[in-house]
């Protein structure tokens, strides 16, 4: 969905919608600052019901991105736990029986060696990619 369609889906009056659309046409730093002040003034005049409706629509728009971000953060924490303890690997094996145990152990071992030798984290990134593939 394009930016203009997203703006159109937000329940605001046409004048404010047009003012928001004009934002992309302002180029100078000072002009952008003035335009933001103008938008803020217009938005402060909105009623509480309008603000609640706007917040609700923004949550609908931003929702999928937040879910994906939370998933990636969870995978990053899992990767760190895999490097710290063997219990995390056992949990992963239990959760995903089709897991290629030998390859994940090799990646973990290589990531630990890379970290100790201060080498680029190639295996570290590969663990993350492997975990992402497991999730799909």
Average pLDDT over residues 70-88: 94
- Does an H or E element contain 15, and which? helix 14-22
Q: How far apart are CA 135 and CA 98, in angstroms?
A: 12
Count of domains observed in the chain: 1
Q: Summarize pLDDT for 35-78 with one digit per residue, the tens.
A: 999 999 998 999 999 888 888 888 887 777 888 888 999 999 99
| 3 pLDDT tier (thresholds 50, 70, 90) | low
DSSP 8-state code for residue 28: S
pLDDT at residue 9 above 90?
no
Please provide the average confidence, as pLDDT, over all residues in the chain. Answer: 89
pTM, 2 dp: 0.59
- Specify the CATH number for the domain of residue 120: 1.10.60.30
Residue 83 lies in a domain: yes
By residue range, what is the domain housing residue 99?
70-136
pLDDT for 2 equals 65
């Amino acid at each position: 969905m394009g930016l203009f369609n997203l703006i159109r889906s937000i329940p605001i009056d046409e004048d404010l919608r047009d003012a928001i659309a004009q934002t992309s046409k302002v180029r100078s730093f000072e002009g952008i600052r003035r335009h933001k002040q103008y938008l803020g003034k217009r938005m402060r005049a909105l009623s509480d019901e309008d603000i609640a409706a706007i917040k609700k629509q923004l949550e609908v728009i931003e929702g999928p991105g937040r879910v994906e971000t939370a998933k990636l953060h969870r995978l990053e924490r899992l990767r760190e736990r895999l490097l710290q303890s063997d219990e995390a690997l056992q949990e992963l094996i239990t959760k995903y029986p089709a897991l290629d145990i030998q390859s994940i152990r090799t990646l973990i071992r290589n990531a630990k060696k890379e970290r100790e030798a201060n080498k680029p984290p190639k295996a570290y990134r590969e663990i993350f990619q492997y975990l992402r593939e497991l999730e799909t």
